């Protein structure tokens, strides 16, 4: 697959929010907003890319934390899901992250433990579950932590 990706710029924000709308619980809205701003202005070691085909169809973001990369968000426009774009975007994100943060050893992520399709997406792309944390962000909602050695 030969799809273009590039770093996020300020003008992308509304399109990214549109892609993520209805997917990310309202409890996470404030954090997503901060995260996209951090990515745009490369604050606090946050980075992100958009995928273009021929318009923006996906977004992925990550942040270096200590010696690891935390994958923060990944999303593909709803009508294009299941076609391999998400896996391609994830690969590109990992490539970019390794260039920006060459000392990082791991890519880690956290997602709702009942989000079965997301978990199988990450597993299909090499991530392994490393633990479950109860009540981490939302009382009553367990989170699964997944990791990939890079």
Order across the sheet with 4-7: list the strands.
4-7, 46-52, 56-65, 68-76, 106-112, 141-149, 128-138
Question: Candidates 5-13, 97-105, 118-126, 137-145 — which segment interacts with ligand COA by CB under 6 A?
Answer: 118-126
The two tokens of residue 122 are 């990450």
Least separation in angstroms between residue 83's CB and ligand COA is: 5
Between CA 133 and CA 145 the distance in angstroms is: 8
Q: Where are the beta strands (DSSP E) in the chain?
A: 4-7, 46-52, 56-65, 68-76, 106-112, 128-138, 141-149
Q: Is 85 in the site for ligand COA (CB under 6 A)?
A: yes
Q: Provide the minimum distance between the beta carbon of 12 and ligand COA in the complex, in angstroms, as a whole number.
A: 16
Q: Least separation, in Å, of the C-beta of 41 and ligand COA?
A: 21
List the interface residues with ligand COA, window 10-49 (CB under 6 A): 23
Measured in degrees and rounded to the nearest 5, phi and psi for residue 100 equal -70, -35
Beta strands at 68-76 and 46-52: parallel, antiparallel or unpaired: unpaired
Part in contact with ligand COA (CB under 6 A); list of ranges 29-37, 45-53, 100-108, 119-127: 119-127
Q: Minimum distance between the CB of residue 150 and ligand COA, rounded to whole angstroms?
A: 19
Q: How many residues bind ligand COA (CB under 6 A)?
A: 18
Q: Which residues bind ligand COA (CB under 6 A)?
A: 23, 73-76, 81-87, 111, 117-118, 120-121, 124
């Amino acid at each position: 697959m030969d799809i273009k990706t590039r770093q996020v710029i300020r003008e992308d924000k509304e399109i990214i929010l549109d892609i993520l709308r209805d997917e990310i619980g309202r409890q996470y809205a404030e954090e997503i907003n901060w995260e996209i701003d951090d990515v745009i202005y490369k604050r606090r070691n946050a980075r992100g890319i958009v995928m273009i085909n021929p318009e923006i169809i996906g977004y992925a973001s990550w942040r270096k934390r200590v010696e690891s990369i935390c994958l923060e968000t990944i999303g593909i426009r709803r009508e294009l899901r299941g076609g391999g774009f998400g896996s391609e975007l994830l690969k590109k994100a990992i490539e970019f992250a390794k260039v920006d943060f060459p000392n990082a050893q791991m890519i880690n992520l956290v997602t709702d433990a009942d989000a079965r399709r997301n978990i199988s997406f990450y597993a299909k792309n090499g991530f392994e579950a490393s633990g479950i944390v109860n009540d981490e962000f939302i009382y009553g909602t367990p989170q699964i932590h997944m990791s990939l050695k890079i």
